[in-house]
Chain A
Amino acid sequence: MNNQSIQFIVTGRRQRRRRWILVTGILAILAVGLCCAMLLLGNTIYPVKDVIRALTGEQLKGVSFAVNTIRLPRMLAGLFAGFAFGVAGYTFQTMLRNPLANPNVLGITSGSSAAAVFCIIILHTSGAVVSVASVIAGLATVIVIYLLSRGTSFSIGRLILVGIGMQAMLDALISYLLLVSAEQDVPAAIRWLSGSLNGSQMHQLPPLVITVLVLAPVVILLGRHLDILELGEQSASSLGVATDKTRIVFILGSVFMIAMATATTGPIAFVSFLSGPIAKRLAGVGFSNVIPAGLVGVNLVLAADLIGQFAFEYRFPVGIITGLLGAPYLIFLLIQMNRKGEL
Chain B
Amino acid sequence: MKPTHLFQAEQLVAGYENKTVIQDVSLVIPSHKISVIIGANGCGKSTLLKTLARLIKPTSGTITLDGKPLGKLPSKPLARVIGMLPQSPIVPEGISVADLVGRGRFPHQSLFGGWTKKDNEAVAEAMRIMDITEFANHPIDELSGGQRQRVWIAMALAQETDILFLDEPTTFLDITYQVEILDLLTDLNRKHGTTIVMVLHDINLSARYADHIFALHQGKLVAEGEPSEVITSTLVKDIFGLDCTVIEDPISGSPLVVPRGRYHVNQEV
Q: Which residues of A contact B (CB under 8 A)?
A: 2, 5-6, 8-10, 12-13, 15-16, 97, 152, 221-222, 224, 227-228, 230-235, 237-242, 280, 284-287
Contacts and interface: CB of A to CB of B under 8 A. Distances in A.
B104 interface: yes
Interface string B52-84: 011100000000000000000001111110111
Specify which of A239, A286, A287 lies most central, judged by the most chain B CB atoms within 10 Å of its CB.
A239
B241 interface: no
A12 B96 contact: yes
Contacts, number: 107
Contacts of A234: 50, 55, 84, 86, 89
A235 B96 contact: no
Specify which of A238, A280, A284, A286 lies most central, judged by the most chain B CB atoms within 10 Å of its CB.
A238
Main secondary structure of the interface of B (DSSP, over half): mixed
Interface of B: 17, 50, 53-55, 75-80, 82-86, 89-90, 92-96, 98-99, 102-104, 106-107, 109, 111-112, 115, 120-121, 123-125, 127-128, 133, 136-137, 159, 165
A12 B139 CA distance: 12
Contacts of A222: 111
Ranked 7 nearest A-B pairs via Cβ:
A240-B79, A238-B84, A232-B90, A12-B137, A234-B86, A286-B99, A240-B76
B86 A221 contact: no
Nearest to A239: B106
A230 B136 CA distance: 20
A286 B55 contact: no
Contacts of B106: 224, 228, 239-241
Nearest to A237: B55
Contact of A6 (B85, B95, B124): B124
Given A2-B124, A5-B124, A237 B103 contact: no
B78 A6 contact: no
A74 to B, nearest CB: 36
A284 B86 CA distance: 26
Nearest to B80: A240
Contact of A239 (B77, B98, B99, B107): B107
A286 B95 CA distance: 6
Given A13-B98, A285-B92, A285-B94, A238 B128 contact: no
A8 B136 contact: yes
A2 B86 contact: no
Contact of B75 (A5, A12, A240): A240
